[in-house]
Amino acid sequence: MAVKIRVLDSANKTMQRLGYLKALCALVNETETSNFATLAKRFMGRVLKSAPYNPPFDEPLKEYARIRLTDGTYKEVRKKILDAAQQAPVSIELQDIYLSDPALPSSTGKLVERDWRHYPYLGTSLDLIKKGTYSGLTRSMVLLAVTPEVQLKAFTDLDRANNPLLISDAHALVLLYCMLDNDAEIVFPLFTNILAKYSGAFIERQASELLPEILRGVQRKFRNAGIPLEDRERLSALAKTADTIAQWKGKPYSGGGAPQAMVRARLEPYCDLGFIDKPRPDRYEYQTTHAMCTLIENWQSVERTDEFLQDSYFKTFSLARNIASQPATDQEATEALSEAGQALKSTLGYSPIVDVGLLAGIRLLTEKKRILELGRTTDLLKKLQKQDPTFVRFTVDRMGVLAYVKFLKDAPETKS
C-alpha cells in the first residue's frame, strides 16, 4: 500500500491567507488544462487588481496603511490615506481594503507581484489543483460549491459586504480537511507542543524553534519506508531545512528567514480557520484556543489521522465551533449525498466518494446542524446500492477500495 507523507510541499510564508484559494480554484476550473506560468500570472492579474477608492477612509484602513503599506511602492497610496487634509480618491489594490477589514483574523499575507511563482503551490499541495496540467481537482469544486458567486466577483469588483478573504464555517470544513490530510506530520506535533509548552500566548519565533525536531522526526519515521524517489528527495529536503532552521537559534529574528517561511504556513492559515487567535491582526503573536485544544484531543495522534478524518472529523469541528448538532438520519444523508454527487459529477457522471461525502457533510452541518462522517458515507452508499442497484454505481481503485460513485437517479426506491 502506498505511503502518504503528510507534509506540505514548498511550504513558505506566501501561504498565509487561505481566502485567495477561492480565486485560484475558480481560475483552474475555467479551463481544462494550463501551465504553471500561465496560471500564476492569470492569478496575479485577478487578485492584484486596483480600483479608485473614495474618501473618507475609515480607521481600520488608515491603521492598515500605516503598518502594512510601508514599501516604497505604496508611498503615495499611504500618504493619501493617512493625510486627513487630502480628500481625493486613491487607487488602491482591492486586497488591501479586504485585508484591513476588522472581521478578518489577520491583516498579514498581502500578495505581491515579485512572489508570483509561489502562490499556486498551496493549491497543488492541498490537492485542489493537479500538478502538471494545473487543472482543477474535484476538491476545488467542493470549495467553489460552498463559495457564493458574489465572493468570487469581489476579487475584481470591490464589495466590502462580501469580503472574499473571509472564511465561513463551510470554507473552513473544506480547507481544514485539506490541511490536515496533507500536513498532519507537522501540524499535530507542532500544535501539541505549543499547547504543552506555552500558557495560551506564544509568538512566531517560539513556534519556529519547535520545527527542527519535528522535521527530523518525519525524516526518521519514513526513511526506511518503501517510498518513491520523489518522496525520498522530499525527506532529504526536510532534514536540510531542519538544520537551516536550527542555525537561526539565538540569532536576531529578522522575519524573513527559513524559520518564518516554514512556520507561517502552519500558523496563519489556522487563524483564518478559527483554531488560533491573533490579539493583534498585524503582528505574528498568537493565542491558543478552545478549538485548537478540541482538535488535538479528538485527533489524538498522527497515526490516527485517517481514522480521525473518516470517523470524527465533523463531530470534532462541531465541538470546536460549539455547534449543537445531531447525527443525520439516513434520509437526510441520502438526499445530501445525491445532491453533492450531482454538483460534483464529471462528464461521465462519476465523482470521488470522499469529495461527495465531504460536500454532503459540510452542507448538512452548516445548514441543518446534522453530522455525516465520511466513514458512514461509504457504509450508507453500500447499503443503498444493495437496497436499490439502480440508484448508485461504484468504481474501485487498484486496491479494491470504493473510489468513485455515480448516482443514476435522484432517490432510491423504498420498500413497500
For 73-94, the pLDDT digits (tens) are 899 999 999 987 777 889 999 9
Residue pLDDT, tens place only, 137-150: 999 999 999 999 99
Q: Looking at residue 303, what is its pLDDT? A: 96
Amino acid identity at 96: D
DSSP 164-181: TT---HHHHHHHHHHHHH
Of 102-106, 216-220, 308-312, 411-415, minimum mean pLDDT range: 411-415
Mean pLDDT of the chain: 93
Give the separation between CA 327 and CA 325, rounded to whole angstroms: 7
Q: Once rounded to an integer, what is the mean pLDDT over residues 192-202? A: 94
Which segments of 216-330 are extended strands (E)? 276-277, 285-288, 326-327
How do 326-327 and 370-371 pair as beta strands?
parallel
Mean pLDDT of all residues in 249-267: 80
Three-class SS state of 37: helix
Report how far residue 22's alpha carbon sits from residue 59's, in angstroms, rounded to the nearest whole number.
28
Is residue 407 pLDDT above 80, yes or no? Answer: yes
Region class of 31: left (phi > 0), else alpha (psi between -120 and 50), else beta: beta
**Could you report the per-residue pLDDT of 159-191, keeping only the tens digit for each?**
999 999 999 999 999 999 999 999 999 999 999
What pLDDT, on the 0 to 100 scale, is given for residue 230? 87
pLDDT band at 255 (very low <50, low <70, confident <90, very high): low
**pLDDT tier for residue 253 given thresholds of 50, 70 and 90:** low
pLDDT at 7: 94
Mean pLDDT of 2-23: 89
Helix/strand/coil for 193? helix
Which H/E stretch holds residue 402?
strand 402-407
- Integer-rounded Cα Rg, in Å, for the chain is 22
Q: What's the pLDDT at 415?
A: 66
- At 51-74, the pLDDT tens digits run 999 999 999 999 999 999 999 889
Count of CB atoms situated within 10 Å of the CB of 236? 12
Residues of the chain above pLDDT 90, percent: 80
pTM, rounded to two decimals: 0.95
**Amino acid residing at 47:** V
Q: Are 271 and 287 in contact (CB under 8 A)?
A: no
| Cell numbers describing residue 374 | 465520511
Q: Given a cut of 60, is residue 416 above it in pLDDT?
A: no
Q: How large a percentage of the chain has pLDDT more than 70?
A: 98
pLDDT exceeds 60 at position 288: yes
Mean pLDDT confidence for 340-369? 96
β-sheet with 276-277: strand ranges across: 201-203, 285-288, 276-277
